[in-house]
């Protein structure tokens, strides 16, 4: 009987020791707010890369293809601003961002295949869209977001 009690005590001790250091993992902390230098209306006309808005929590709200080019409406909630990003374009192609009140900024590709526009504030209830203009071929836009 003593051998059984000894084996049971040893097994119980090992079980306690093996679970003593176990604790559930802490929930992941939310992503830290990006270091940005503008917010809302102070971002109007600003460069998303120079303000830090193009990094951190920047996201694509909509992407659209047009004549082999891709136009994206980019947004950063920390900046509360949006901009147009044009890829796979050609010199002369234009990336345009416009808010629903008519404020518009654009930038053309001077060399290479990519460009992006300055930003517009996208604080509710304002919305924005991105457009690509291809000289001699027309324009295509995302929806307002």
**pLDDT tens string 51-67:** 999 999 999 999 999 99
| Residue 33 forms part of a structural domain | no
- The count of structural domains within the chain is 1
The tokens describing 43, both together, are 């971002």
| Residue 52 forms part of a structural domain | yes
| Residue 12 forms part of a structural domain | no
| Residue 102 forms part of a structural domain | yes
| Residue 129 forms part of a structural domain | yes
Is the distance from CB of 42 to CB of 34 less than 8 angstroms?
no
pTM summary value: 0.76
pLDDT in tens, 4-57: 445 444 444 444 444 444 444 555 555 555 589 999 999 999 999 999 999 999
| Residue 87 forms part of a structural domain | yes
DSSP state string for 84-95: EEEES--TT-EE
| Residue 4 forms part of a structural domain | no
Q: What is the DSSP secondary structure assignment for residue 55, as one 8-state letter? A: S
Range of the domain at 115: 42-140
């Amino acid at each position: 009987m003593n051998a059984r009690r000894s084996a049971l005590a040893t097994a119980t001790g090992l079980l306690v020791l093996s679970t003593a250091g176990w604790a559930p993992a802490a929930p992941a902390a939310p992503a830290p707010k990006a270091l940005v230098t503008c917010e809302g209306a102070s971002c109007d006309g600003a460069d998303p890369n120079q303000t830090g808005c193009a990094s951190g929590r920047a996201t694509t709200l909509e992407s659209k293809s047009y004549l082999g080019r891709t136009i994206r409406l980019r947004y950063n909630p920390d900046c509360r601003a949006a901009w147009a990003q044009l890829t796979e374009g050609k010199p002369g192609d234009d990336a345009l961002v416009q808010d629903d009140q008519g404020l518009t900024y654009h930038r053309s590709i001077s060399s290479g295949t990519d460009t992006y526009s300055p930003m517009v504030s996208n604080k509710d209830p304002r919305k924005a869209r991105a457009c690509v203009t291809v000289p001699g071929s027309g324009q295509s836009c995302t929806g307002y977001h």
